Chains A and B, each alone.
Chain A
Amino acid sequence: QDIRNTVGNIPMEWYQDFPHIGYNLEGKKIYKPIRNKDELDMFLEKMENPDYWRTVQDKMTGADIKLTDEQVDLVHRLQKGQFGDVHFNPYEPAVDFFTHEVMIHPVTNRPADKRSFIPSLIEKEKVSKLVHAIKMGWIKPRKPKDDTPTYYDLWAHEDPNSILGRHKMHVPAPKMKLPGHEESYNPPPEYLLSEEEKLAWEQQEPAERKLNFVPQQYRCLRAVPAYSRFIHERFERCLDLYLCPRQRKMRVNVDPEDLIPKLPKPRDLQPFPTTQALVYRGHTSLVRCLSISPSGQWLVSGSDDCTVRFWEVCTARCMKTLPVGGVVKSIAWNPNPTICLVAICVEQSVLLVNPYLGDKLLYGATDQLLESYVAPEEERVQPVQWVTATVEEHSRGIRLVVQHSKAVKQVTWHGKGDYFASVVSDNSNMQVLIHQTSKRWSQNPFRKSKGLVQCVLFHPIRPYFFVATQRYVRIYNLLKQELTKKLMTNCKWVSSMAIHPGGDNVICGSYDSKLAWFDLDLSTRPYQLLRHHKKALRSVAFHKHYPLFASGSDDGTIIVCHGMVYNDLLQNPLLVPVKVLKGHVMTLDLGVLDVLFHPTQPWVFSSGADGTVRLYT
């Protein structure tokens, strides 16, 4: 029954699906024994066959083998962990082969070698070599270790060549701050922290504290304890020394007095208004606007209490009160000295009023001039309506009413006194209108709206027209009907504008408390931007003859500046603030609403939110 299967040591599952299980020595197939046992057969066999438990299947041949008694015994022994051989005794008594006892007989019978009786030659050679080496001084005894450092004069030869470039670049670490009085163990009592200061000290971040310790007082030196942060502070110093970036910082060592620019003394720039001379009382609400007659004798003011008052300048007497039935936004006295006429903005209309002040001939002539108007044959389409005043109105002085479609913001006269321009608060191209009084005719100069117009002005000499929108001032040539210049104000919102009587300089006040001075010959950007006021500027004004300009602001002050313009084109204007005028009381967060110069004297008028008009001389 010796079937040699020649498949070798392979997993026998590979032959699972074949009828044979390998090949014998001759190369013939070894067929699996026929097995058609199912579960039931297996069970029956298990039940019936008494040797079932000792039957195993040989995987190589697939045949069942019955184990003999010896084989079963061997399996049992191995399972118990015993030796396979039954006759092997693992507990045989040990034979002491080499013992600690010295035996009189040698263990082996071998006679001793000769070399065990004579000294070793090899060793001798080695020793003699060592001895020779020691003699020759090649081998030295181990030096006793001395780890105390030795010091010598390191800087005995200081040669300047050893100073490298590095040393010149080196930034030495700043020394520790030396202690002040407060660090003493017994400081003067004022250096001790009070309760609140101590509390504040504790609440501060450690990095933000001015002192890194709490000053303490001890009665005697004995009572002083150890400082608990001593090692910390040393360690922090170490960290600073090797981790902090070092940098040479130039200390700004300036005398603050040197920073102040050297300006000509205001005393040398006189005349300019210095003190408050008169207060014109009478208005019960904000006085929004002021205007003065060309002769300088009369002053007119418009207010939120729906009246217009006429004052005599020198006496502060209210000559006349004209109720207009609406808030007065703007007011302008005709600059022509031969005409006595005042333009007043009230809601949607511009009233032209004859104040009946001054020379009787003059205002009579004005009335005649207005009445001499002859209506043209053909009615022209106009953006506004010109209405002659009713009898009742006429008796109050109102001559003409120019009715606009929307509320009117501002009105301004041309220098000749015939034309005037009005600004309507609107978003369309109808914002600016130019009117001619003698012909009672109006026109709209712009086809397109370029933004919200803040104010307009006529050039005092040349046919130019200034339109200030929120951020730009556009200058139009009226004759050529074109844009000549566009000034960038660098402000957020322009509030007011004034032109130097010479016509080459413009100032713009803005709500972001800046005043921009433009030199039209220089550039379209401000020559200088003055930030003198703390709050929004409401109005700016130039003096007709003196080199003065003034600005009024919400902070209740008027700043009068000297603004000299030289005829020499090479010399830039000289701007020097000369006086800060105060006097107006702040009401509703508003201070000065309008400023105005007297046409001949170096006087300045101002109207304020407190309902007064003041004169400074």
Chain B
Amino acid sequence: AVTRRLCILKGIYPHEPKHKKKVNKGSTAPRTFYLLKDIKFLLHEPIVNKFREYKVFVRKLRKAYGKSEWSTVDRLRDNKPTYKLDHIVKERYPTFIDALRDLDDALSMCFLFSTFPRTGKCHVQTIQLCRRLAVEFLNYVIASRSLRKVFLSIKGIYYQAEVLGQPVTWITPYAFAHDHPTDVDYRVMATFTEFYTTLLGFVNFRLYHSLNLLYPPKIDGQADVELKPAEGKDYAMDSESYLEKLSALSASLARVVAPTHEDEVEIDEFPVEGETAEQMDAKKKELEDLEKHKRLFEGLRFFLNREVPREPLAFIIRCFGGQVSWDKSLCIGATYDVSDPSITHQIVDRPRVEQQVVGRYYLQPQWVFDSVNAKLCLPVADYFPGVLLPPHLSPFVTEQEGDYVPPEKLKLLAMQRGENPDEESEEEEEEEEEDEDDNEKEEEEEEDESEKEEEMKLKKMEEQKTQNNKALPVKVTAGKLRLEDRQRLEQEQQSEEKRLAIMMMKKREKYLYKKIMFGKKRKVREANKLAAKRKAHDTAVKEEKKKSKKARRA
């Protein structure tokens, strides 16, 4: 168990030997192999002695308990040996960037542990520490406005932030009680968390200092004053209220140096050699886009209804410069009330809202997420309460050529480019629906035609793909020679040449080639399958619509 803990803390992992049989004394049974070098490295670790001391301590304590020597127990307890992992963190991550690169797992783990109940499973201190570090990190992300992408998955909420140029992704579970599985070794997880909290603490310290913020974080003076009265009434314990206030994520943090307008400073341009003007322009544009993205919600005032997950939404909105508030009874840190007339957006997650205030949008929470991912404030019409939401797409997927792209994504991309195809098509649809009665048949025909066209397109695409691949055996149709089709002939000839060349490949290369081609074909097949599924679904929906319309009219 000690070895396991050491391996976890020091980041030692097994290796796959080059000759498995040779190492394993001739047997091929699966075994894990560590490098001898690594084990020797573990032996030199000073923490091994600490572990031994701890073992001795446990033994003494048990003995004292057995003898009911309570004073000895107290004395032993007071002198409980502790150890620190600072040097291991430093050793594993000699530079700060290394540490940032490995932050994904640390964050996910801390967020998970901070949602654990305060009883059983693991130490309360660990949970509190995790919560504190997670909240600190969130506050840093807000202060640096480095959040980039968010995604509501069925597993939890994914966030991606860009911290000092490194993408850091983490997942938080939805705020429900866990049903703790029995086949999970919590000791392993606790050991990991032990290391991760140390790492995250140091990283937080450094990050806060890079922004000239105080660490441990202090809430900005003015906001603090505002919050005082509420706190005095509702919260008894001073020590708790600090973390609560911090985790409300509503107040900005105190800085060591008063914030000047350093953000306004133009970035000097350093022309790099070999860089053309176009590249420079592209870079500049990218930077501008980034700035715009960071100020996405600037000037907007949000109000979160109580059924909406408060923490993620408050976090996201604040990350993009929006102001956010919630019901006072929901959580500490509410800055304004529902009735505030300056509220522009109210986030609601119920089928309908009874008393609507004029002058604000009532929106479902997905709007916030989709807007962040789209890097622009999306049209609000699709996200009204009770409306069937458009699909929520993953921002982490970048489609390559040949991959299947959902039509919503295409629409979004067009919108980002500045076109607005959505409205047009909608209008068209409406028009179509309007004169549906008159020329229903025509429309159907049209539809059929369009379908056929699509099919043709699909087929053509497939053909092209297959011809690109050339691995599919194209049948030689000797009888149907069309002389006028020069291109086709040419293509056929080329494909045949290729097939002949493939015949001459070496066995190994042929195997590799076939494998690559198989992978490519499978990709195409999957994409086609998805496209076909989508088409079937769309037609079904259309039919349904038509039927319902007819029923309404009749």
Contacts and interface: CB of A to CB of B under 8 A. Distances in A.
B349 A166 contact: no
B155 A241 contact: no
Interface of A: 142, 145, 147-149, 151-155, 158, 162-164, 166-167, 170-173, 175-176, 178-181, 183-191, 194, 213, 215-216, 218-222, 224-235, 237-239, 241-247, 252, 254, 256, 259-263, 265-267, 275-276, 530-532, 559, 575-580, 582-583
Contacts of A254: 512, 516
A167 B94 contact: yes
B498 to A, nearest CB: 7
Contact of A158 (B78, B95, B201, B478): B95
B29 to A, nearest CB: 15
Chain B's interface size range is 35 or more
A155 B207 CA distance: 11
28 contacts: A147-B125, A149-B129, A151-B201, A152-B205, A153-B206, A154-B205, A155-B93, A164-B94, A170-B11, A180-B394, A184-B151, A184-B152, A186-B152, A186-B392, A188-B408, A216-B154, A221-B309, A221-B364, A221-B365, A228-B179, A230-B156, A231-B178, A231-B180, A233-B155, A234-B112, A242-B7, A243-B32, A262-B501
A227 B99 contact: no
B389 A153 contact: no
Contacts of B209: 153
Given A148-B129, A531-B507, 10 more contacts: A147-B82, A162-B90, A183-B153, A187-B391, A231-B184, A235-B185, A254-B516, A259-B512, A260-B505, A582-B476
A252 B177 CA distance: 45
Contact of B174 (A190, A194, A226, A242): A226
B256 interface: no
Contact of B154 (A152, A171, A227, A252): A227
B517 interface: yes
B534 A190 contact: yes
Contacts of A244: 13-14
A139 to B, nearest CB: 15
B503 to A, nearest CB: 5
B41 to A, nearest CB: 7
Q: Find the residue from A194, A226, A261 having the highest chain B CB count within 10 A.
A: A226
Interface in B483-541: 493, 496-505, 507, 509, 512-513, 516-517, 520, 530-531, 533-534, 537
B214 interface: no
Given A190-B530, A220-B349, A230 B112 contact: yes
Nearest to B515: A252
A270 B276 CA distance: 50
B215 interface: yes
A166 B391 contact: no
Contact of B392 (A166, A184, A263, A532): A184
Contacts, number: 264
B335 interface: no
A175 B101 CA distance: 9
Nearest to B307: A222
Contact of B478 (A180, A243, A246, A276): A276
B252 interface: no
B377 interface: no
B500 A259 contact: no
B389 A186 contact: yes
B534 A580 contact: no
Nearest to B121: A231
B202 A151 contact: yes
Nearest to B35: A169
B189 interface: yes
A184 B32 contact: no
Interface of B: 4, 7-8, 11-16, 32-33, 41, 78, 82, 84, 86, 89-91, 93-96, 98-99, 101-102, 104-105, 108-109, 112, 125, 129, 151-156, 158, 169, 173-174, 176-181, 183-185, 188-189, 192, 197-198, 201-202, 204-206, 209, 215, 307-309, 349-350, 364-366, 388-389, 391-394, 396-397, 406-408, 476, 478, 493, 496-505, 507, 509, 512-513, 516-517, 520, 530-531, 533-534, 537
Nearest to A160: B94
Given A145-B78, A147-B125, A532 B205 contact: no
Contact of A225 (B84, B176, B180, B397): B176
Contact of B513 (A179, A256, A580): A256
Given A216-B154, A239-B188, A181 B178 contact: no
A173 B365 CA distance: 34
A305 to B, nearest CB: 27
Q: Find the residue from A179, A187, A225, A276 having the highest chain B CB count within 10 A.
A: A179
Nearest to A145: B78
A561 B108 CA distance: 62
Q: Find the residue from B8, B393, B499 having the highest chain A CB count within 10 A.
A: B393
A173 B8 CA distance: 13
B392 A259 contact: no
Q: Find the residue from A219, A221, A222 having the highest chain B CB count within 10 A.
A: A221
Contacts of B307: 222
Given A244-B13, A577-B503, A224 B96 contact: no
B192 A238 contact: yes
A576 B534 contact: no
Given A178-B169, A230-B156, A532 B391 contact: no
A197 to B, nearest CB: 10
A549 to B, nearest CB: 14
Kindly list the 7 A-B residue pairs having the minimum CB-CB distance in the complex, ordered from nearest.
A226-B176, A178-B396, A190-B534, A190-B533, A188-B391, A245-B16, A183-B153
Contacts of A188: 391, 393, 406-408, 534
Contact of A183 (B82, B95, B394, B478): B394
Contacts of A256: 513, 516-517, 520
Contacts of B8: 238, 241-242
B205 A153 contact: yes
A232 B13 CA distance: 21
A149 B174 CA distance: 28
B396 A230 contact: no
B477 to A, nearest CB: 10
Contact of B156 (A154, A218, A227, A531): A227
Nearest to A528: B504
B204 A245 contact: no
B493 to A, nearest CB: 8
A275 B478 contact: yes
B96 A155 contact: yes
A166 B155 contact: no
B302 to A, nearest CB: 15
B243 to A, nearest CB: 12
A263 B14 CA distance: 46
B16 A221 contact: no
Nearest to B390: A186
B189 A259 contact: no
A184 B154 contact: yes
B189 A235 contact: yes
A216 B155 CA distance: 11
Contacts of B112: 230-231, 234
